[in-house]
Amino acid sequence: MISLSSLSRTPIYQQIIEQILAQIACGALVPDQQLPGVRNLANDLGINPNTVVKAYTELEMNGYIYSLQGKGSFVKKRDGDNNLVSIKLEEVEKDLNILYQLGIQKSRIEEILNRVFSGGHHE
Amino acid sequence: MISLSSLSRTPIYQQIIEQILAQIACGALVPDQQLPGVRNLANDLGINPNTVVKAYTELEMNGYIYSLQGKGSFVKKRDGDNNLVSIKLEEVEKDLNILYQLGIQKSRIEEILNRVFSGGHHE
DNA sequence: TTAAATGTACTACTATAATAGTACAGTAGT
DNA sequence: ACTACTGTACTATTATAGTAGTACATTTAA
């Protein structure tokens, strides 16, 4: 369900976050569906439970899941923008500003934008 | 010429890089112009020379400046894409993919793009 | 009440990033 | 040759991020 790449230098907890986000986005995980327990997932991945906790905590702070002590962690219903969207938008804007300062052509960005947003499996 | 914000949690050497890049981009620094020496700049900013070295080294690796031992560091003529541009383009593409996965509307990005690239003081 | 699941909290270890200290080496002018 | 400037190289210190260890608290079902 979730697989780690030890070759990658992106942190374990980040890899978990990204994969869960992807599964929520593509519908593999639906609202109120229970996520694997922190110990189960940690055992499956051969890591420390607290690393999973870190991933879950961040997902919760960003409004993607909710956790109930003693019960488990579950997928949350989306309600408009959440923190992650805001953060990523800010990141993109910051990078675009730098690229603009570096004198890159606007069309270069538009090409990327069109390519990414024609992936097809949305709307 | 360069000012640091100790409030900001972006590293000192990064702040130096960004400000020099900005000055190159806006024409305040022109090709073959000499940059302040590592010790001078370090003294002005009240930091360690090696922190300036780190900034200069990274700028050199990315093709923005060149350094000659005993002579100084100088602004380099641009020749198409360099590492920084490539890196930032990759970062943007990665973030855009995430935003796409999060279900954001393409128009939201286009708004940002238009705003950033209408800053005016370029072309 | 007991047991087994769950999430939580706190501490500790480790690796890496950021900065600083000090010594070295090349260049230019005197 | 000497001096004063330049960048360079290497080591040391410090802060922070990432991960792990261990104990705690809640829920649910037997």
Q: What is the pLDDT of residues A21-50, one digit of tens each?
A: 889 888 899 999 999 999 999 999 999 999
Strand D close to A115 by CB, under 7 A = no
Return the closest nucleotide (C1') to the Cα of A39.
C6
Strand D close to A48 by CB, under 7 A = yes
Domain ranges of chain A: 12-75, 83-116
Tens-level pLDDT at each residue, chain B (123 residues): 889 987 788 899 999 998 998 898 888 999 999 999 999 999 999 999 999 999 999 999 988 999 999 999 999 998 766 777 888 888 899 889 888 877 788 889 998 998 888 754 343
Please give the distance of CA B116 from its chain centroid, rounded to a whole number.
Answer: 16
Distance separating alpha carbons of residues A48 and B63, to the nearest angstrom? 42
Strand D close to B73 by CB, under 7 A = yes
Indicate the residue of A25, A92, A100 with minimum beta-carbon distance to B117. A100
Question: B12-75 sits in which CATH class?
Answer: mainly alpha
